[in-house]
């Protein structure tokens, strides 16, 4: 019996069928499996501007396989456009709205299956959270990555537009050159061309097994992406027929494999928020310790922007996510007998897969680094943990000790950086930007890009209880827990305090005597909330700390 039977079968459902017929559905369509197409198309996100085409291809596939597609909308925030101002407070909180809205639509209308059509930073995690929560047959398909731009013979992407601001401020480029970077950094639709959060999560959806091979790497503008969407439409009908649900795919082993792929790719630190949040919905226990333990075993195989010169286009040409998994399997790091939405096991998907470009995906015998691209730090400044993208850190910066320059919001820090008030040897501390304190845990790309643009990327560190964009490079530490708004040690740091970052020992310490730290913590008083109404106020009251995935504590 189909799940949708309750809204369309029997004499009692005459009114329900009447409403379907008001929209033009005929009896043959109503009798078929009803497949919800959750599409995040909008005209504000480059990764979403083309999703109507992807959704139409999915619907064509559904119809070919004997199902009836029913499309509905999903909101989305463009992190790039929201970056650097109050709008970024809404990015991470939108993840929960996305998950909730998909749950509402699927449960209210009793869809037999779901195809989730999204692309960017919080949309994909929100969709995957809903998929895990609902546990009805579902597949994710993304819009695909943007192609890199070209500026005077050099390939560039979104991060270069930010870094160019600092370069202009320091006289390294002219206003005309700045404008040229603006025109060329983002040349096509799609999620920004580097291994930033959107592309990381789309690759990890493949690794989890809830998206088809190619989901993370086939460029947005390639016809292959449309063909993949048609295949997904056909596949979801088969999943409904065989009652294959996400709980059969999203196992603990799947999440561990996704972490391994993340570490090998040197992916965005935001995955440390999103994977635990998705795992929680799936009933799987996943902690920062899992990331930490695997980071010691998984080598860094790729140096994709912002950590290196390659882009997701290069990863596609090198064989994609499956090629990375094939390489990791040499070390026994992949659980090959688990199921995927293709109805094949990982073992079957890896058959015949080879690495096609060794400059992009290195072998496990010759990695960029013997450890993974993300590191969990703990210490007196971050008792419950903090996150750094170590794959983007040069070897000589693995130990850094500096003087704190403290700011209670991102805007003040960025102004100080661009005004030349930050000097080599400083540790820029940006606090009250966590999930509760922000509220919303804003990304600090404006700050890190300003540091890079001012030529300070290898002489200044940044530490925050907020987040860093996947486009971040340099000595940037985020997710400091407990956050300042919870009275964590980051709340009591003062200008001039010494901070030590020791990546060899995975430590982040405020260099004060324990009694001084204890004295300051006792004297600390929470500041007035930044937000006094609306969704962000409700969000700040319900959200957990970053080390728990910034999920609602309900």
* 198: confidence class by pLDDT, cuts 50, 70, 90: very high
- For residue 305, what are the CA distances in angstroms to 297, 349, 370? 23, 27, 19
Residue 286 pLDDT exceeds 90: yes
* 471: confidence class by pLDDT, cuts 50, 70, 90: low
Residue 392 pLDDT exceeds 80: no
Bond prior to 440 in cis (omega within 30° of 0):
no
Reduced to 3 DSSP states, what percent helix, strand and coil does the chain have, rounded to the nearest 5? 45, 15, 40
Tell me the percentage of the chain whose pLDDT exceeds 90: 86
Listed in sequence order, the residues at least 6 apart from 208 whose beta carbon sits closer than 8 Å to its beta carbon are 128, 249, 250, 254, 255, 257, 258
CA distance 341 to 348: 12
CA distance 259 to 40: 26
Q: pLDDT tens across 80-104, in order?
A: 899 878 899 999 999 999 999 999 9
Q: pLDDT tens across 262-274, in order?
A: 999 998 889 999 9
Provide the 3-class DSSP secondary structure of residue 515: helix
User: Of 521, 528, 513, which is closest to residue 489 (Cα–Cα)?
Assistant: 521
Question: Which pLDDT value is given to residue 84?
Answer: 76
Indicate the average pLDDT of the chain: 95
CA distance 403 to 409: 18
Question: Which pLDDT value is given to residue 138?
Answer: 98
Tokens of 396: 């000589």
Question: Which pLDDT value is given to residue 495?
Answer: 97
CA distance 35 to 443: 35
Among 469, 481, 540, 545, the one annotated catalytic: 469
- For residue 300, what are the CA distances in angstroms to 126, 286, 362? 27, 21, 8
User: Of 39, 41, 346, which is closest to residue 210 (Cα–Cα)?
Assistant: 346
Residue 539 pLDDT exceeds 90: yes
Residue 446 pLDDT exceeds 90: no
Rg (CA), the chain: 23
Q: Residues 414-423: what's their mean pLDDT?
A: 94
Tokens of 2: 């189909």
Element (H, E) at 154: strand 154-156
Residue 472 pLDDT exceeds 70: no
Q: pLDDT tens across 341-359, in order?
A: 999 999 999 999 999 999 9
Say whether 545 is catalytic. no
Tokens of 5: 């039977």
Question: Which pLDDT value is given to residue 448?
Answer: 84
Question: Which pLDDT value is given to residue 184?
Answer: 96
Please list the residues that pair with 464 across neighbouring strands. Answer: 430
Q: Between residues 62 and 553, which one has the greater pLDDT?
A: 62
Provide the 3-class DSSP secondary structure of residue 462: strand
Q: pLDDT tens across 478-488, in order?
A: 999 999 999 99
Residue 470 pLDDT exceeds 80: no
Listed in sequence order, the residues at least 6 apart from 409 whose beta carbon sits closer than 8 Å to its beta carbon are 430, 432, 433
Q: pLDDT tens across 150-191, in order?
A: 999 999 999 899 889 888 988 999 999 999 999 999 999 999
Question: Which pLDDT value is given to residue 237?
Answer: 98
Please name the residue ranges forming H helices in 342-403.
Answer: 346-350
What pTM did the predictor assign? 0.93
Q: pLDDT tens across 211-265, in order?
A: 999 999 999 999 999 999 999 999 999 999 999 999 999 999 999 999 999 999 9
DSSP string for 10-35: SGGGHHHHHHHHHTT--HHHHHSPEE
């Amino acid at each position: 019996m189909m799940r949708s039977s309750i809204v369309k079968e029997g004499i009692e459902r005459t009114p329900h069928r009447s409403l379907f017929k008001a929209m033009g559905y005929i009896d043959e369509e109503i009798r078929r499996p009803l497949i919800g197409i959750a599409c995040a198309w909008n005209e504000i996100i480059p990764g979403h501007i083309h999703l109507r085409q992807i959704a139409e291809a999915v619907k064509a596939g559904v119809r070919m396989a004997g199902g009836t597609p029913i499309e509905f909308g999903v909101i989305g925030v463009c992190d790039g456009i929201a970056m650097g101002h109050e709008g970024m407070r809404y990015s991470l909180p939108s993840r929960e709205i996305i998950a909730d809205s998909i749950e509402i639509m699927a449960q209210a209308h009793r869809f037999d299956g779901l195809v989730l059509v999204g692309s960017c930073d919080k949309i994909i995690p929100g969709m995957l959270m809903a998929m895990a929560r609902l546990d009805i047959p579902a597949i994710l398909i993304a819009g695909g990555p943007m192609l890199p731009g070209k500026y005077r013979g050099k390939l560039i992407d979104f991060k270069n537009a930010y870094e160019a601001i600092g370069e202009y401020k320091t006289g390294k480029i002219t206003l005309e050159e700045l404008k040229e970077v603006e025109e060329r950094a983002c040349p096509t639709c799609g999620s920004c061309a580097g291994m930033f959060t959107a592309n990381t999560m789309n690759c990890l959806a493949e690794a989890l097994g809830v998206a088809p091979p190619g989901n993370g790497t086939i460029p947005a503008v390639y016809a292959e992406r449309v063909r993949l969407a048609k295949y997904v439409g056909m596949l979801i009908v088969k999943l409904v027929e065989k009652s294959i649900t996400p709980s059969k795919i999203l196992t603990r082993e799947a999440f561990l494999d996704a972490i391994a792929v993340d570490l090998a790719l040197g992916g965005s630190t935001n995955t440390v928020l999103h994977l635990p949040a998705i795992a929680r919905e799936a009933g799987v226990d996943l902690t920062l310790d899992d990331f930490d333990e695997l980071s010691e075993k998984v080598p860094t195989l790729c140096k994709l922007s912002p950590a290196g010169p390659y882009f997701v286009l290069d990863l596609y040409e090198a064989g994609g996510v499956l090629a990375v998994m094939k390489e990791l399997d040499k070390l026994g790091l992949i659980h090959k007998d688990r199921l995927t939405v293709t109805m094949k096991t990982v073992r079957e998907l890896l058959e015949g897969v080879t690495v096609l470009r060794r400059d992009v995906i290195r072998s496990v015998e010759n990695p960029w680094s013997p450890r993974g691209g993300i590191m969990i730090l703990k210490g007196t400044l971050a008792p419950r943990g903090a996150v750094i993208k170590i794959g983007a850190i040069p070897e000589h910066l693995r130990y850094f000790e500096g003087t704190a320059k403290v700011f209670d919001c991102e805007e003040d820090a960025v102004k100080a950086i661009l005004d030349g008030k930050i000097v080599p040897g400083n540790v820029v501390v940006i606090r009250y930007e966590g999930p509760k304190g922000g509220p919303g845990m804003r990304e600090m790309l404006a700050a890190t890009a300003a540091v890079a643009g001012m030529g300070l990327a290898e002489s200044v560190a940044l530490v925050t209880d907020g987040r860093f964009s996947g486009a971040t490079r340099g000595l940037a530490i985020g997710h400091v827990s407990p956050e300042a708004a919870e009275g964590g040690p980051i709340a009591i740091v003062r200008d001039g305090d010494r901070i030590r970052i020791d990546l060899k020992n995975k430590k982040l310490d405020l260099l004060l005597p324990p009694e001084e730290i204890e004295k300051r913590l006792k004297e600390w008083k929470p500041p007035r909330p930044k937000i006094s109404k609306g969704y962000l106020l409700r969000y700040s009251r319900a959200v957990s700390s970053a080390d728990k995935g910034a999920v609602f504590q309900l």
